[in-house]
Structure formats: structure tokens, C-alpha cells
């Protein structure tokens, strides 16, 4: 039931773009995205609740394709502060109140 993320790891230079994908074997009600820096707790980025919905947060945005049971996180013009491990969290029905977190993508931004 754990969503699969790709790539597992990516290294970027400052200013480059990246896409992180999250794929589920089950139909999804919502997708959440979190970033975790080393030694710290995960921090919320965004929630996508509707199929086809796209949301943005500064230079980080995401899409949710309900039919394909997939979500993608887009990082534009990456900054050093974007480094960390990104997790998608999926919810299979409304009111489930429990997230299944994906396998994670480690993103490293270098100068």
C-alpha cells in the first residue's frame, strides 16, 4: 500500500528544476507533500484534494492526476534550502485520517 516515489535521489545545481513523482496502486482521495531535512521532523508543503488539481507554493508546485493515481511535485529554480528528503503521503478515502507515506526522494542542491 506504500506509494512509490521516483527518483529515489537526485542532485541539482542551484537554479535547476526537478520533478518528483508519487505513484499509488490504489485510488486516491488526496495527496500530501512533506519535506524532511536531516535530523529534523517532516514539514508540510501542500495538500491536493481533487483529481487534476494543481497547487503552488512559491517555486514549488504539484499536480494530482486522480485517474492515474499519481502526483508530481515540481521544484523550479532550486535553492540550497530545498535540500532534503521529500515524501508524498496518500489518503485513499475521505475521513480516513491516516496517511501512507511514500518511499521518499532525497534531493540535494549544490552551489
Residues within the interface to other proteins (CB under 8 A): 2, 30, 32, 34, 40-42, 44, 47, 87, 89, 97-104
Cα(23)–Cα(64) distance, integer angstroms:
10
In the complex with other proteins, the residue whose CB is nearer, 16 or 29, is 29
70-75 and 30-36 beta bridge pairing: unpaired
Nearest distance from C-beta of residue 71 to other proteins, angstroms: 15
Instruction: Map grid coordinates 513523482 to a residue.
Output: 21
| Radius of gyration, CA atoms only, the chain | 13
- Which residue's CB is nearer to other proteins, number 34 or number 82? 34
CA 24, CA 68: separation in Å to the nearest integer?
Answer: 9
Residue 43 beta carbon to other proteins: minimum distance, rounded to whole angstroms: 8
CB of 15 vs other proteins, minimal distance in Å? 28
Tell me the closest approach of the beta carbon of residue 98 to other proteins, in angstroms: 5
CA gap 71, 47 in Å, rounded: 11
CA atoms of 111 and 98, how far apart (whole Å): 37
Amino acid at each position: 500500500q506504500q506509494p512509490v516515489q521516483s527518483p529515489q535521489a537526485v542532485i541539482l545545481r542551484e537554479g535547476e528544476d526537478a520533478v518528483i513523482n508519487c505513484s499509488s496502486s490504489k485510488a486516491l482521495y488526496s495527496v500530501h507533500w512533506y519535506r524532511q531535512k536531516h535530523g529534523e521532523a517532516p514539514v508540510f508543503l501542500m495538500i491536493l484534494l481533487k483529481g487534476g488539481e494543481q497547487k503552488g507554493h512559491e517555486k514549488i508546485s504539484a499536480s494530482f492526476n486522480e485517474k492515474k493515481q499519481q502526483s508530481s511535485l515540481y521544484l523550479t529554480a532550486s535553492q540550497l534550502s530545498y535540500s532534503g528528503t521529500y515524501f508524498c503521503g496518500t489518503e485513499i478515502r475521505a475521513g480516513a485520517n491516516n496517511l501512507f507515506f511514500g518511499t521518499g526522494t532525497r534531493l540535494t542542491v549544490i552551489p
